[in-house]
Amino acid sequence: MSDLGITVLLVAVLFAILASGVWIGLTLAGVAWIGMQLFAARPAGDAMAVTIWGSSSSWTLTALPLFVWMGEILFRTRLSDDMFRGLAPWMQGLPGRLLHTNVAGCTIFAAVSGSSAATCATIGKMTLPELSRRGYPDGIAIGSLAGAGTLGLLIPPSIIMIVYGVAAEVSIAQLFMAGVLPGLLLAGLFSGYIVVWALRHPGLVPPADRVMSFGQKVHESRHLIPVLLLIVAVLGSIYFGIATATEAAAVGVVGALALSAAQGSLNWRTFRDSLLGGTRLYCMIALILAGAAFLTLSMGYIGLPRHLAEWIATLGLSQWQLLLALGLFYIVLGCFLDGISMVVLTIGVVMPTVVKAGIDPLWFGIFVVLVVEMAQITPPVGFNLFVLQGMTQREIGWISKVTMPFFWCMAAAIVLVTVFPSIVTLLPKVLMARP
């Protein structure tokens, strides 16, 4: 059978199993098993055992469950509520007023969470009831939250950056550094759209609750201190070479527990729920990673990645044409798979082509994260859409519609980092050059 025939067969099997409701991780492992049984000489059982054990015992991957647990702790304690109280006074003077708390809150929480869904859910629990009570339109409130929630993937520490770093053998610490400026750029684009919307619809923006002096605003900002201390502890330990990404994740967990205990919001129930919630989420991710690792190995034995890279090379695509094709590919794939599955399923196939085209793997990691962010708000499998549907009881189609302007903000961010790649590479170069 030709490479095209093998590819079509395996893709058809993949979607057939997914459509039957089987878990994604088991689906990936099943497709890998079928591929090795039919088209490879190595015994599939032996390969699966070795690969799954190797993917599950990675020390680098230890950072993943720790960051997940840290996000769960913050989700269930008073730290997230305090963050809203500290942010709100500074937003009253901007066009759009408290709508900016969605963006600012997600930006800050993303720096201690690493999960898009956790960021969206946590900030949404704080902001949506308050915005609704104050009379802000549901469309722009929910749309801005869906878009800004994706910052959990881009602003470090990021779960998907850890997954990409392991899969593509790129430094996770450098990926974390590279995500800072693009994350701030995207947050600025989101707030910019809110400003434009507010200026076009001034009658829909409620008046300010009350006017505060600068001193009063500073006083209210004291509620931000615990979260900012946690951000400094986690990211500072990485950027200044004090700790690896895995060690910094442990610092984050201990810091989150200590701060929530100091505030009196940590008890046995929240500790237990956060630990169980983090364990459930990580087990799901670990199963996907194990299945994808086996699938990557299977594809390697079949030879599809090498043949695909050679085929794309014969097309003579320029770098921007290749990036455009890959961007469209990931957006379409995001309509059917979640972000982590997209990365672990495709990186083994895509990276040889990317490297051969002369694209920096570090820069490409941020490009992939941005495109995966777009997939978080594309139906029918947009994780942020599911989160918001559960929180608001709105239809997925309506949520997708009000989120679309923020989808285009992400597209603009991709164009900007492609035209100006130093947005991604500047911070890693500066910090890594430090004596």
Residue with the bigger pLDDT between 210 and 369: it is: 369
Closest CA to 416 of 130, 186, 247, 178: 186
Q: Could you tell me the pTM of the whole model?
A: 0.74
Percent of the chain with pLDDT over 90: 15
> Residue 194: what pLDDT?
94
- The CA distances from residue 231 to 70, 78, 238, 263, in Å, are 12, 16, 11, 17
Distance between CA atoms of 126 and 131, rounded to whole angstroms?
9
> Residue 1: what pLDDT?
66
- Spell out a b/e string for 368-395, using b for 16 or more CB atoms within 10 Å of the CB, else e: bbbbbbbbbbbeebbbbbbbbbebbebe
Q: What is the mean pLDDT of the chain?
A: 81
Using an 8 Å Cβ cutoff, are 198 and 95 in contact?
yes
Residue 4: pLDDT band (50, 70, 90) is low
- Tell me the pLDDT tens digit for each residue of 309-330: 566 667 777 888 888 888 888 8
Residue 181: pLDDT band (50, 70, 90) is very high
Residue with the bigger pLDDT between 386 and 174: it is: 174
Distance between CA atoms of 170 and 165, rounded to whole angstroms?
5
- The CA distances from residue 105 to 112, 144, 197, in Å, are 11, 11, 19
- Which stretch of 117-126, 356-365, 406-415 has the lowest confidence by average pLDDT? 117-126
Residue with the bigger pLDDT between 16 and 175: it is: 175
Which residues, in sequence order, are CB contacts of 242 under 8 Å at separation 6+?
236
Instruction: Say if residue 433's pLDDT is above 70.
Output: no
- Tell me the pLDDT tens digit for each residue of 224-261: 788 788 878 887 887 777 887 778 888 888 988 998 88
> Residue 405: what pLDDT?
93
Q: Give mean pLDDT, residues 33-53.
A: 82
> Residue 363: what pLDDT?
94
> Residue 190: what pLDDT?
95
Distance between CA atoms of 75 and 387, rounded to whole angstroms?
14
> Residue 313: what pLDDT?
62
- Tell me the pLDDT tens digit for each residue of 61-86: 777 788 778 877 877 777 766 777 78
- Tell me the pLDDT tens digit for each residue of 276-308: 988 887 787 778 778 877 877 787 777 765 666
Q: Give mean pLDDT, residues 214-233.
A: 81
Amino acid at 146: A
Distance between CA atoms of 312 and 322, rounded to whole angstroms?
9
> Residue 129: what pLDDT?
79
Instruction: Say if residue 386's pLDDT is above 80.
Output: no
Percent of the chain with pLDDT over 70: 90
Q: Give mean pLDDT, residues 20-31.
A: 81
